[in-house]
Amino acid sequence: MAQLLHHRDGPRDECGVFGIFAPGHEVANLAYFALFALQHRGQESAGIATATHRGNIMTIRDQGLVSQVFDEHKLRSLVGDLAIGHVRYSTTGSSAWENSQPIVRDDARMLALAHNGNLINAVALHRELREAGVEFHSTSDSEIIAALLSRHPAARLQDAVADVLPRLRGAFSTVVLTEEAVVAFRDPHGLRPLCIGRIDGLDGVPVWCVASESCALDMIGAAFVRDVAPGEVVTLSAKGLESRLVAPGGREAFCVFEYIYFARPDSRMGGTVLQAARGRMGEILWREAPVAADVVIPVPDSGNAAARGLARAAGLPTDDGFIKNRYVARTFIQPGQELRRQGVRMKFNPVPEVVAGKRLVVVDDSIVRGTTDRQIVQMLRDAGAREVHLRISAPPIKHPCHYGIDMSTREEMIAHGRTVEQIRDELGADSLHYLSLSGLYEALGARRERHCDACFTGEYPLPGTDTANGKFALGRELPLVRA
């Protein structure tokens, strides 16, 4: 299946994972709808694996959106009361079928695995396993985790995870499927999200599930119970929910960018509903940088909540200055040179009746390379805007992420080596203000020492991170052995 077309030059979505055990009930449909709710976390590929107690693991995975990969016939073929699922954006390895998930391995034990995050010691582990004779069928670091667990001699998968987890460095919220259980675990720093849900009412037996975000739990009627703790291993089996903390005491470093952009606004993270937190970001933006203006407009959809908050604080009206084409990312036709030159016009179209003659406050969540924002400012001026004041509900992004977000290289980032005034001039705006780091944490009601904000500050919580290998390092390291 062809690669989906992306136009946004901001951070790329990462991945979403899901796992469920519902004794005596087919669960493929529940996994499908949970992945549907997590689609924003990855649009390159999708997959579901199910298991029966007879030892069979069945997997369907392909490139494309959830609705393109699955239909009723395929879902009916995925039998079993245990399942895991995955939606992917490639942060390690190319966008190829071999890198779609769940990954299935059958070494000492058969398992399927889905992973959100990045290992910063992937190349070293990959070399070690290849020297031990292990063959790989992908260039994704996720298969490294799968191989380590599948080859492990421990009788129980939970014991294998407890031994392997301390060897992994980086971000990994992971779900693993065997014929007996779904095992989920999170890295000792809690960099990427993972939460637990419960469904009551199926034959009086609780159904337990795990997901990257609580919006996936809402979709299938599960109640949010709690987050999986950093370094915790959770098992969903016939015994119910079991928990084991195997890597305690790490410095918590939850990704602050989940609050700003990645997670759905209706998800709850760290006790915060993100829609409300993003609204507070807008309110603080106005407090930090008020300006004489007529109307507030968001860059849809990522700027919507912050724009509403800013408008409330300013006492200004808000309006839809752009109409968004929500089907751009679903086309498989590559644009010609003329359309490519126009770029962002394929996704956003300004409304002259809203913006003409007005002093605009334009709210977006972040700026990475600046290509989109430069075109947005010019489009608004072409539509008759009198002034364009950019307000960004995040600090300037100056450093790449090595923990599961594709944010471009440092040299590609517009904030690298430039002052805010220089960026403003580069974008052609009348004024530009980024939310301060202190304002961000105030909006979240969170403590900085429990989060990772390295994309803003360059202060990576794991030593050696800034020398980590790039997205395609495993592809360069050794050739694939194709299945």
Q: Are 384 and 445 in contact (CB under 8 A)?
A: no
Token pair of 477, please? 């390291």
Residue 376: what are its φ and ψ, rounded to 5°?
-60, -45
Question: SS3 string of 305-357?
Answer: HHHHHHHHHHCCCECCCEEECCCHHHCCCCCCHHHHHHHHHHCEEECHHHHCC
Pick the catalytic residue from 15, 209, 401, 452.
15
CA distance 483 to 103: 12
DSSP designation for 446: -
Residue 6: what are its φ and ψ, rounded to 5°?
-120, 140
CA distance 475 to 94: 8
Residue 122: what are its φ and ψ, rounded to 5°?
-60, -45
* Host H or E run for residue 88: strand 82-88
In sequence order, which residues have a C-beta less than 8 Å from that of residue 429 and are 6 or more positions away? Answer: 362, 377, 388, 389, 390
Residue that has been written with the tokens 């960099």 in this structure: 191
Residue 209: what are its φ and ψ, rounded to 5°?
-150, 160
Q: Which amino acid is at 238?
A: A
Q: How far apart, in Å, are the Cα atoms of 196 and each of 19, 117, 156, 228, 297? A: 9, 18, 22, 6, 36
In 3-state terms, the chain is what percent helix, strand and coil (to 5)? 35, 25, 45
In sequence order, which residues have a C-beta less than 8 Å from that of residue 154 and are 6 or more positions away? Answer: 160, 163
Answer yes or no: 209 catalytic.
no
Q: Is 177 helix (H, G, I), strand (E, B) or coil?
A: strand
Q: At what angle do helices 142-151 and 157-164 cross, to 10 degrees?
A: 120
Q: How far apart, in Å, are the Cα atoms of 458 and each of 128, 193, 415, 417? A: 30, 21, 13, 13
Instruction: Give burial (CB, 10 Å; 0-12/13-18/19+) of 49.
Output: buried
CA distance 76 to 27: 10
Q: Which amino acid is at 18?
A: F
Question: What residues act catalytically?
Answer: 15
